[in-house]
Amino acid sequence: MPQHKEIRYLPYRTDQMFDLVADIERYPEFLPWCISAKNKKHETINSGEIIWADLVVGFKLLQERFTSKVELSPASNSEPSRIEVKYVDGPLKYLHNNWVFLPEEDGGCKIDFFVEFEFRSKLLESMIGALFHEAVTRMVEAFERRADSLYGSK
């Protein structure tokens, strides 16, 4: 099962980065391979919210739609802000994606990012698996460039 873990420092506040990642419907504007993104359902829970989102991702002739459950948990007194993504429906067998936004003393933030997935199709997994780390790195860099464009390069 392909997985990727990365910790990255960015000079932006945790709330800015949380809002950027939580703004799912804007993903097609900056994320490679994201063709469309639509929030289907929204629910408020405790101090956070849950969004059921449909994404269409594609590369060349291949396009796939999947639905995920996105739990947004803003920072509390004892916990950092976090976004947890779980797979609901589509071509995958499994998907788990986690973002944790940790404040730094200089006003920036450290982002702890993790993603792991498995395709139902072993053929698709072998095709994508070979490019997985490069693709995830490009996606993380796309979020960083988006932060630069929204909040100014620091």
Residue-wise pLDDT tens digits, 105-114? 999 999 999 9
Q: Which domain holds residue 17?
A: 3-152
Average pLDDT over residues 117-133: 75
CA-CA distance, 45 to 43, in Å (whole number)?
6
pLDDT at residue 66 is higher than 70: yes
CA-CA distance, 118 to 97, in Å (whole number)?
12
Q: Tell me the pTM.
A: 0.91
CATH number of the domain within which 60 lies: 3.30.530.20
CA-CA distance, 65 to 71, in Å (whole number)?
19
User: pLDDT class for 12, splitting at 50, 70, 90?
Assistant: very high
Give the other-Cβ count within 10 Å of 58's Cβ: 13
pLDDT at residue 154 is higher than 70: no
Work out how many domains the chain is built from and give that number.
1
CA-CA distance, 139 to 131, in Å (whole number)?
12
pLDDT at residue 149 is higher than 90: yes
